Amino acid sequence: TIKEQTASSMSRRLLIILGPTAVGKTDYSISKALEYGSPVISCDSRQIFMNMSIGTAVPSASQLAAVKHYFIQTVPVTQAYTAGDYELDAVALAVRLFEEGHETLVMTGGSMFYIDAVCNGLDNLPDGDSALRAELWERLGKEGVGTLAEELRLKDPLTYSQIDIRNSQRVIRALEVCIVSGRPFSSFKTGGRRSRSFQIEKVGLTRPREELYSRIDRRVLNMMDEGLVEEARSLLPYRNCQALQTVGYKEVFEYLDNKIPLEEAVRLIQRNTRHYAKKQLTWWRRDPDIKWIDVSGR
């Protein structure tokens, strides 16, 4: 009956473990996944891309062996993949796993837009145009984000005033929608929350700022030891792709271009990663549904 279906759907729980970069989400989520007999559904907009394992701090071989992971290195770096794509893929996966008998599923990551997409749903934007998107990314490489942002300002002043216009991925997505639809990107934003056939519970991991920042600094040094420079060098032909517009690679590309010394690249990656962690925390502090857990000393 409908009543029974509703009761069963409400006993299904998606546990989202979120928090700033380097806080310790991977270990914590694996321990929870083992506790609930669940796989780990990764919710990371960079770990989803192939050939970027060092710079995105993908789980280690032993961590991946401890429990099954989804959405780790499944998309080629040359492919554009949006929060809307993730919403469709991740919700479909969760529904399938619940049908197979899971009561609790563990999802983890630090990507604000991906988590938002799963929790609230995204507005029904028109389908993208991959040829146009590729052309816009090519223009980004040649002309810089300022030119594209100015084009967006003319087509959609409201979106221009609301988004971070230094974020090339968001500028390109909004501009693509404007061009494909002939309507402003902002006209598609309804702000309605999509209903899900399962409950969502959010747990945020936190540490004192000094402890988090020293973990970030250490992680960056470890990435350098593991071969981040060589990994970035192998990705140079794809440097203008969406996947690589991210902290870690951009700074190493500057070094490989002989624009800055290696020590400066390391310092910038550490600084920019700390800035990103601060941005993540600011974003989530607005969400009253998150239950925060201090994991300091773990």
The answer to whether the CB of 223 falls within 8 A of the CB of 36 is no
Does the structure show a pLDDT above 90 at 3? no
Whose CA is closest to 107, among 35, 62, 43?
43
How does residue 190 score in pLDDT terms, banded at 50, 70 and 90?
Answer: low
- Which neighbouring-strand residues pair with 201? 15
Mean of pLDDT values over 271-277 = 96
For the segment 62-121, what is each residue's pLDDT rounded down to a tens digit?
A: 999 999 999 999 999 998 888 888 999 999 999 999 999 999 999 999 999 999 999 998
Does the structure show a pLDDT above 70 at 233? yes
For the segment 129-164, what is each residue's pLDDT rounded down to a tens digit?
A: 778 888 898 899 899 999 999 999 999 998 898 888
How many residues are recorded in the chain? Answer: 298
Edge-to-edge strand ranges of the sheet holding 40-42:
69-70, 40-42, 104-109, 13-18, 199-206, 290-294
Looking at residue 1, its pLDDT comes to 55
Does the structure show a pLDDT above 70 at 10? no
CA separation (Å) from 290 to 16, 204, 246, 284? 9, 6, 26, 8
d(CA 60, CA 18): 19
